[in-house]
Structure formats: structure tokens, C-alpha cells
Amino acid sequence: MLKKVLIANRAEIAGRIIRGCKKLGVKTVAVHSDVDARLPYVREADEAVYIGAAPAAKSYLRGDALIDAALEHGADGIHPGYGFLSENAAFARAVTASGITFIGPSADAMDRLGSKTAAKAVAEKAGVPVTPWFKVEGVDKALKQAAEVGFPVIVKPASGGGGKGMYRCDSADELRERIERAAREAKASFGDDTLLVEKFLVNPRHIEVQILGDNHGNVIHLFERECSIQRRNQKLIEESPSVALTPEQRRTVCDDAVRIAKAAGYSNAGTCEFLYDEAGKRWYFCEMNTRLQVEHPVTEMVTGVDLVEQQLRVASGEKLSLKQDSIKQTGHAIEMRIIAEDPFTGFTPSLGTLEHIEPPTGDGIRNEMGYQSGNEITPHYDSLLSKLIVHGKDRKQAVERSLAALDRFHAAGIQTCIPVHRAMLKDEGFLEGRFHIHYAEQRMKDGLCKREHQESAMLAAAALAFERDERMQSAGRTHLSAWASSSLPRAK
């Protein structure tokens, strides 16, 4: 087993990895930028290292500095988390070359699957269906190929994820303009301006399969996650199991994911993403995320498997102790991403001091927190505050528990997307399982969250009042009322 792991990441995922390491008695080294020094994960780690200034390019994307910090502090493993350098094959190769274990797939496997174009080629060779696609090799050639595929199409970066640089194109003119834009965004975000174009499925569902492999040729799946509730290609709500799949479809798509992983010589945790055409009852391989997913707790809740623990065991050279027949889905789990954005002003980032945050507790409730009261929300990184994961005996109970938990989730000083989650979990189409990857955006345009607006404002005001009262009481004062005159004497 590894002895000490440096976590090359921040906030909630760093905290999650630290807890996984502690479970196995593995020491941890946290890295942080200047603005992250007071985040909880820094205190939770056994050691902490300042890695650079706030912009990611000067801190969490400095591969050489991360490796130097690991060597200086005696870490024999580096866990990349998700985002940043987690899917960067050059970084994985440099970590391995330094004599440190990279907790993830091999750099060669990342080369084979990290690029969407390469991953589609692997899937096709493995006999797994993919949507018609081509690599962009010049604008004029791309326009001719797109005409053959048929509009609409979608242009996207070959590397990276998170919905960046992805554009639907309904005509040749749109494709010409958006290829240039997507290339610029891909270069800025991922350091690679390679693009691909594929047939755009109008209203598919997003189904992904969690896989896990070791370094001895064993690969298993841990079933699927339904990730169709999205906004601008960013997932908002994830759940498992998917209500769209029959047992036979579930077996087939999960087996397809295992075939892809085996064909690529994949080890450690990874996720195969599929687009499911519900009308045609067909799914198409989309891409593979060669890392731990943001939504991995959904899988953990329904299978009982600790994915971070398994990552550490595989990276330490152990064979998988889990057998495919022993993995079962039990109950239903839902994850809601609590994001610091204001849904009533076009999802603008909500920055500033998080004056108070108090997550809910109770049966079937799990919180993955990135921040605590008093922390600053800055513009330098993504706006994910925390993840709320809820488990129930079935989907109905999971939804009911989720709504109750959202009502008890208190955050003051900033705005969050909680009203969106609350409204979506009450939406008839969601409850009946009638949704697709564009459904959430369509419903928001229809005014999905309007009735939540006033209630959200009232809850925020109440949370601020609570925090104010707490501060005043701790200062030895009695708060009389919001209307009390400032000239009144203090209580003795």
C-alpha cells in the first residue's frame, strides 16, 4: 500500500481523497494556492504545501511544481482528482518517470482514450456503436464532411470536458464560425485545439457507466448513472439507476463499457459516456473520462463500493478483490451539485464571503463539502461549493428525501442553484422520467424556477438573520429586533 499521497487538486474532491486515504492509513499532502489557504481540506491533510498564486496556471496546473512538492515531502503517490491535470497524459508520464505512482490509468491508456477521436476509434474496433463523426482537418474539408453526415452536428474539443468549446451547428455557416471559436476555447482551456464534429442527436439521454480495472487485466463495471439533467453541457443532477433502461439494456451498455476499457488496456477508475436515443432504443459511445468523476458518490451509494479506496488499492498493485457478480445496485441515489451561481440572474457567478453554510443531515444523506463558513468564493476556479447526495429505498423515497434535505441546506452571503434543484425535483416530467439532456434548459426557459424565487429570497434572509444573531450573541449582546434603534443601550 502507498504510504503518502499528494493530492494535486483542491476543495471538495481534495477532501474526499483525504478521507479515502485516512481510511487506509495513508498519509496525505495537500497543495493550495494563496486564496485556498483557509479551505477545509488544507487543515484536514497531514501536511500542506503552498503551490502558487490563485490562477490555476500558476498553481494547480504546474505539473513540475506538483511533482517537486511530492518528492520534497516524501509522497510515493499523486492523486489528480478531477479537472486540472487529471486527464493530462504528459503529467501522468512525468509523475511515473519521477518514481512516483500516478493514481489513475497509465499514460498510454490515457493517450488511447483521453482524446475523443482516439476513444471513438477504440470503441469502433471493440464493436461498440458510435455516432457518425470526423476529425476536423481544415474548415473547407469539415464543411464537406458535415454535409455528408447531415445537419445538425456538434463541434467539440478532442481533449478535455466540462462542456467547454461545444457548439451545435445547424448549417454550414454556423459550423464555419463555430469551428474557429471552439478551437480558440479548446486551446485556452486544454492546450490543444484539435476538434471533432459528430452527428447531433436532438434529444438524447446522457448515460454513463463506471468502470474499474486493475493492473492484472481485470475490469468490472459498477453500473450506470443517469446524467441528463444539465445546463450548457454541465451536469446539475445525477442519479442511479437510470429509469430509462430495461435490465437487458443495462447489461448490454455496461458490457460495452467493459469491452472498451479492456480494448484500451485500462486500469483504475474511469467512466464511459453514452448518448441514448430513447426513441430508437439505441445508445452510442461518446467519450471516456479517464479519471474519477464528480458524481462518483452516486455509484458508491447504490453499490457500497468506495471508489477512492479501490483507486488506491489498484495503484498500489493489488488485484481487484471485487467480482462482477458481487456488485449489485441497491436502492436509488441522487446527487445535486450545489453551485455558487444565481439562477435568477442568468446563472451569474456569486462571489464574495460565504457567511454561513450548514448542510443537512439525516438518513441516507451524504455531503461532500468544499467550503466552510467564512471562506471566500473567488472567480479563479469552478463554482462548485459542495455535493449533496441522497439515497432511498427507491426513486420516490430518494426524491422525497432530496427535497427535504434541500429545504434544510442553509447558505448565506452568496446565491446558489438550490432553487433549481428544488424546482426540478418537483417537476412532473422529471418525476415521470420523461427528460433528456436539453430538458432542464427548456424547462428553465419556461419559468421552472419562478415560484421558487420568492421562497429562496426568504430562506436566504432567514439564514443571514440567524448568522447575525449568532455573531451578536457570541459578542455578549442580545438582539432585540430588526427594527430596534441603534441608539438603544446594550443589554448588560
Query: pLDDT tens for residues 210-237?
Result: 999 999 999 999 999 999 999 988 999 9
Q: CA 166, 172, 174, 177 torsion: positive or negative?
A: positive
Under DSSP, is residue 270 helix (H, G, I), strand (E, B) or coil?
strand
Give the pLDDT mean for 37-56. Answer: 98
Q: Which residues contact 235 (CB under 8 A, 6 or more apart)?
A: 206, 227, 229, 294, 295, 337
Give the pLDDT mean for 44-57. Answer: 97
pLDDT at residue 15 greater than cutoff 70: yes
State the chain's mean pLDDT as an integer.
92
What is the rounded distance in angstroms from the CA atom of residue 32 to the CA atom of residue 42? 7
pLDDT-based confidence at residue 469 (cuts at 50, 70, 90): confident
Strands 410-412 and 47-52: unpaired
* pLDDT tens track for 247-261: 999 999 999 999 999
Question: Residue 206: in which H helix or E strand, if any?
Answer: strand 205-213
* Per-residue pLDDT, 476: 58
Among 225, 291, 337, 422, the active-site one is 291
The domains found in the chain, sorted by start residue, are 4-103 (3.40.50.20), 132-199 (3.30.1490.20), 205-416 (3.30.470.20)
pLDDT-based confidence at residue 468 (cuts at 50, 70, 90): low
Known catalytic membership, residue 291: yes
Rounded to 5°, the CA angle 330-324-285 comes to 90
pLDDT-based confidence at residue 459 (cuts at 50, 70, 90): low
Cell numbers for 148:
455528408
Helices 296-303 & 307-315 angle (0-180, nearest 10) = 100
* Per-residue pLDDT, 384: 96
pLDDT-based confidence at residue 114 (cuts at 50, 70, 90): confident
Q: Backbone dihedral region of 163: left (phi > 0), alpha (psi from -120 to 50 degrees) or beta? A: left
Does the N-terminal peptide bond of residue 152 adopt cis geometry, omega within 30 degrees of 0? Answer: yes
Q: Which residues contact 318 (CB under 8 A, 6 or more apart)?
A: 214
Question: Residue 38: in which H helix or E strand, if any?
Answer: none
* Per-residue pLDDT, 351: 97
* pLDDT tens track for 176-209: 999 999 999 998 888 889 999 999 998 999 999 9
Helices 307-315 & 11-23 angle (0-180, nearest 10) = 70
pLDDT-based confidence at residue 489 (cuts at 50, 70, 90): very low
Q: What percent of the chain has pLDDT over 90?
A: 84
- 62 within 8 A of 51, measured Cβ to Cβ: yes
pLDDT-based confidence at residue 483 (cuts at 50, 70, 90): very low
What is the rounded distance in angstroms from the CA atom of residue 215 to the CA atom of residue 101? 13
* pLDDT tens track for 423-439: 999 999 999 999 999 99
> Higher-confidence residue: 485 or 168?
168
Question: Residue 238: in which H helix or E strand, if any?
Answer: strand 234-240
* pLDDT tens track for 281-322: 899 999 999 999 999 999 999 999 999 999 999 999 999 999
* Per-residue pLDDT, 484: 31
* Per-residue pLDDT, 233: 87
* Per-residue pLDDT, 464: 63
Give the pLDDT mean for 470-486. Answer: 47
